[in-house]
Chains A and B, each alone.
Chain A
Amino acid sequence: MGLDIDRHAHLASAIQTWDPRVKIFSLGLFAMVTAVLQTLPLALVALLIALVVLFVSRIPLGFVYAAMKWLIVLLLPFFLILPLTYPGEVNSEFLGIPFAIEGVRLSVMIVVKAIAIMTIAFVTFGSTRFDISMIALRHLKCPSIIVQMLLFSYRYIFLFFSEMKRLDTAMKARGFVKKPNMYTMKVVGGFVGTLLIRSFERTERIYNAMLSKGYQGELHTLVEFKADNKDKLKAVLMVLITLAIIAGDLSGIFAVAEQAWY
């Protein structure tokens, strides 16, 4: 399971050495802007930029692709539904099934934007150690309690996966096979319940151990951030690109060009 997203944080590249605070801000802005783009050419430009950033960060493409499969499963229904249900005139036909080319355009755009944003998210959080990213979030005025809960949950996810594996092995060893019936639901319910109770008791012990070591709800860290001119230059470059993309999208210069495609 590729959940240790920060496994490529040690690579030395322009992205890894980028001050995490500045990085999260500028790449986050880029992701937000990409999400609201309305023209396909600019969505493609955004994807290209995302891929360039990924390339610069030297995070392997295969690492991102592994998670991409899940995204494609999620988006596949739109590919089937949108062309068939797009309102207005039906202007094309494939194997005798009428569909709207507009619907195809829309679903392609959705996929392109989604891949671009996911790539950027992977670069942002894959190029810095997770705990450092979280401390950077704290510096970006994210409430301390939220940052701490994120850190706790992140740790627990790995614990729960190993706990789940143990439970799964125990169930298999007793000959349990999942089937679509009520009995399976009941067993899965018990599985989740056991996972919850065990994990909760474990967490209480962890928490008490923390309290006994002087934890008072504050996050202390030795990590210090320093943004030099290089960091700022990268941020300015990224923000300028982002602004150019959104300006192009809003001015609609590509909307005309796009019309000519069909």
Chain B
Amino acid sequence: MHIADGIVSAPVLVAGFGATALLAAATMRNIETDEIPKISVATAVFFVANFIHVPLGVVSIHLILNGLVGVLLGKRAFPAIMLGVVLQSFFGFGGVSVIGVNSVMLGGGALCAYGIWQLRHYVSIPKKEVVFGALAGALGIFFSGCILALALATTGEAFVESAKLVLGWHVVLMLLEGAVTGACVGFIARAKPELLAGQRLVAAN
């Protein structure tokens, strides 16, 4: 879910840009040239996810997959999503003035997803990649929904009801994103596990 231009107030826009700058600086420290290809791939996948439609009841909605980007890139997910948002704004999806807000919203969700994904090291259950992939996808988008609702609610009293509806809508999105991300992560874990972030080498014993 995106927020378009012209909705949120100036303080929220400025706060969005400020938080984006801080998060970008923190997550892009010591970035190496050889990380560029992987980050760019994730950015492009995040971009095209908007064009993959999945039927849900009677409506068809598109994927967002910010949680998946978190699972793939770890903390570098933030710059990847930020650049995805920038590219989208060039194409007229999203908006120029809300690059900051959208980056914090979706990139923050990706970081949150990565945090959840890392928790898998503490449990031993069968198919834990699928389970934690699904959790990361679901909670990543839910976190984004919370930020979006917060941005709307702080813009003005007029948007409080809209914020509540946005939150409710993200509960629906959670199920969809969780299911797709879980399946996708499970597939990657079988086919090319080195693509996933935070993999630990299995001790040889």
Contact = CB atoms under 8 A, between A and B. Distances in A.
Contacts of A67: 91-93
A256 interface: no
A150 B65 CA distance: 19
Q: Which of A82, A86, A154 has the most CB of B within 10 A?
A: A154
Contacts of B93: 67, 70-71
A188 B52 contact: yes
Contacts of B34: 207
Given A118-B92, A149-B79, A35 B97 contact: yes
A200 to B, nearest CB: 5
30 contacts: A32-B97, A34-B97, A35-B97, A85-B161, A87-B158, A110-B4, A110-B6, A114-B7, A117-B6, A118-B95, A145-B33, A149-B39, A149-B79, A150-B87, A152-B43, A178-B53, A180-B57, A182-B179, A185-B176, A186-B183, A188-B52, A188-B183, A193-B184, A193-B185, A195-B45, A196-B42, A199-B41, A199-B44, A200-B38, A203-B37
B63 to A, nearest CB: 8
Interface stretch (A14-22, A53-61, A156-164, A235-243): A156-164
Contacts of A97: none
Q: How large is the interface on A (under 10, 10 to 19, 20 to 34, 35 or more residues)?
A: 35 or more
Q: How large is the interface on B (under 10, 10 to 19, 20 to 34, 35 or more residues)?
A: 35 or more
A187 B63 CA distance: 14
Contact of A200 (B9, B31, B157, B195): B195
Nearest to B130: A189
Contacts of A141: none
Q: What is the predominant secondary structure among interface residues of chain A facing chain B?
A: helix
Given A110-B7, A117-B5, A203 B40 contact: yes
Contacts, number: 222
A160 B47 CA distance: 10
A223 interface: no
Given A110-B6, A184-B54, A193 B91 contact: no
B140 interface: no
B36 A149 contact: yes
Contacts of A120: 96
Interface in A75-93: 75, 77-78, 81-82, 84-87
Contacts of B105: none
